[in-house]
Amino acid sequence: MLQPHHHLLPLFTFIFCSCWVLNRVVSDPQIYFLTKRCNPYYEFLVSNVTLFDENINSTLRDIREQIGGQNKHFATAEGAASGGNTVSTLFQCRSYLSTADCVACFDVAATQILSCAPGDPGGHVVYDGCYLRYNYWYFNFNFDFSFFFY
């Protein structure tokens, strides 16, 4: 004679409830747009717009790899192909976002910040879940700062 398995009922109930709850979990990359600013004065800084834009794209790929592959919520990258026009890029997303949500926010921000190009030497976009910024970076270590002290 078969005996009832009363201990299976709680197990099936747990599995059913778990599946129901997990199906209700939604991702939220927090991509509500807050602000964007571009620096349009490229003619004074950027000597080669094409190379500069290639450097921007290079840094964006690097940052996406860092946040997606290394589960980072903060990343920086610097890109400089031969010929100068160095670009420094910084990205940060909220620490409580999942990696997938952080990457999703980055993707939206990267698309938006590329509208600053071609050739704008700086720009930033802010969403409620992340922040992305790039800048033309030139620093001459031989620059004489003594005039600040007179």
Provide the domain limits for residue 133: 27-142
Q: Are the CB atoms for 133 and 124 separated by under 8 Å?
A: yes
Q: Is 29 helix (H, G, I), strand (E, B) or coil?
A: coil
In a domain, 135, yes or no: yes
Question: Which two structure tokens, joined as six digits, stand for 61?
Answer: 């790929």
Q: Which residues contact 68 (CB under 8 A, 6 or more apart)?
A: 99, 103
In a domain, 107, yes or no: yes
Q: What value does the mean pLDDT take over residues 56-74?
A: 93
In a domain, 104, yes or no: yes
Q: Is 114 helix (H, G, I), strand (E, B) or coil?
A: helix
Confidence at residue 56, expressed as pLDDT on a 0 to 100 scale: 87
Which residue in 93, 63, 92 sits closest to 78, CA to CA?
63
∠ Cα 131 106 123 (to 5°): 50
Q: What value does the mean pLDDT take over residues 36-61?
A: 79
Q: What is the domain-level CATH number for residue 137? A: 3.30.430.20
Question: Which two structure tokens, joined as six digits, stand for 20?
Answer: 């129901």
In a domain, 93, yes or no: yes
pTM: 0.71
- Residue 103 to residues 26, 68, 72, 107, Cα–Cα distance (Å): 15, 6, 10, 6
Question: Which two structure tokens, joined as six digits, stand for 40?
Answer: 């349009």
In a domain, 6, yes or no: no
∠ Cα 138 38 119 (to 5°): 55
In a domain, 8, yes or no: no
At 81, the pLDDT band (50, 70, 90 cuts) reads: low
Each residue of 96-141: pLDDT tens digit?
A: 999 999 999 999 999 999 888 666 788 899 999 999 999 876 544 3
In a domain, 2, yes or no: no
Confidence at residue 71, expressed as pLDDT on a 0 to 100 scale: 86
Q: Which of 4-8, 58-62, 118-122 has the lowest mean pLDDT?
A: 4-8
Confidence at residue 6, expressed as pLDDT on a 0 to 100 scale: 57
First-to-last C-alpha distance (Å) of the chain: 102
Percent of the chain past pLDDT 90, that is, above it, reads: 39
Q: How many domains does the chain have?
A: 1
In a domain, 75, yes or no: yes
- Averaged pLDDT of the chain: 76
